[in-house]
Amino acid sequence: MMSSSLDKNKRSRGIRGRCLWCVNCVKWIPVLFIVTIVVWSYYAYVIQLCFLTVPNAVERVFYLLGYHALFIIFMWAYWQTIFTEIGRVPNQFRLPPSEVEKLAEADTEDAQRQVLERFAQNLPVTNRTVTGAVRYCHKCQHIKPDRAHHCSVCGECVLKMDHHCPWVNNCVAFTNYKFFILFLGYALLYCIFIALTSLKYFISFWRVSILNELKEMSRFHILFLFFVSVMFAISLVSLFGYHCYLVLHNRSTLEAFRAPVFQAGPDKDGYSLGKYNNFQEVFGDNPKTWFLPLFTSLGDGVVFPVRAQHQPSSYNSMGSTQTSCEEQLERSPQPSPALLVPIECPA
């Protein structure tokens, strides 16, 4: 009897494992689609356009140098966006088994709230739920740090989550948000460069004399290359522009749709410290590395500078504890002098 139940458990685990493997493979389909388009565009531009169509050697060299410079940095940013590990919640935010048991045994919402408030009183959290309670993830069993959210696709909470992007098969969040912005920007430049440099030959293909001289296959590749580059450029303009707007206002996509809640209430500009400081928070304080796909974002993804009115200099958790101003200064993030918001201590 016991052996048959064990066999059933093994079979069920095997079925779940195979299903999970299939699901993980399906998630890579959008990425493979993008990679296929990029590989084809490389062949169409370098071989069909530059080597088989462009007659002038100087023009060909200029096209090849410009194209490969954009191609390399674009693919570098795309690689970083895909394969950078998501920021995971530190262990200090996780409730120990005893606290999880207390939370499960609490029979009222107020009792559950008190359990979470007591545990979170020494954690650097300022965000709250719409009811003013500490944000807690029942699936991960930990207090959510500020700006962290649970991703149903990744199956865990992610630091400063922006959104889950199927085109990179990864969460766009604190650890790779800069890479995602650069990926969009360089993809846009890549498409614009291809469209502008192939435009002359695209127009020439409508002339009878040129049509008689060029091979049909080359004509097809270049015509299709122009249309695809223009189509992707149009779609990338709005997306890249929107994320530039979010960077300058220090908001994530989730925060743009639903403002973060502080003790004083919702505030969509709660993390905005001015456009230049907001830009530095994502791209870093060294201008030499701003536009390179290297991680230079300020902070640790757990604690973020907030506007002065949201600084918890006199935090009172359910009336049970008070945090001194000196303690809050120690907890405040120290990403850059330009980003620091002074906390005025009471006399």
Long-range contacts of 323-327 (CB under 8 A, 24+ apart): 323/121
Phi, psi of 339 (to 5 degrees): -100, -5
Distance of CA 64 to the CA centre of its chain: 31
Q: Identify whether the C-beta of residue 119 lies closer than 8 Å to the C-beta of residue 95.
A: yes
| Exposed / middle / buried, residue 260 (Cβ in 10 Å: 0-12, 13-18, 19+) | buried
Long-range contacts of 340-345 (CB under 8 A, 24+ apart): 340/305, 341/273, 341/305, 341/306, 341/307, 341/308, 341/311, 342/308, 343/308, 343/311, 343/313, 344/313, 345/313
DSSP string computed for 18-32? HHHHHHHHHHTHHHH
- In 3D space, the residue among 138, 130, 149 whose CA is nearest the CA of residue 89 turns out to be 149
User: Could you give the angle at the alpha carbon of 289 between the alpha carbons of 284 and 290, nearest 5°?
Assistant: 60
Per the annotation, the verdict on 165 as an active-site residue is yes
Distance of CA 247 to the CA centre of its chain: 11
Q: Which of 165, 171, 191, 325 is flagged as catalytic?
A: 165
Reported as half-sphere exposure (CB side, CA atoms, 13 A), residue 206 has a value of 5
Q: Identify whether the C-beta of residue 295 lies closer than 8 Å to the C-beta of residue 87.
A: no
Only one residue has tokens 């008689």, namely: 212
- In 3D space, the residue among 301, 327, 302 whose CA is nearest the CA of residue 313 turns out to be 327
Q: Catalytic positions, please?
A: 165
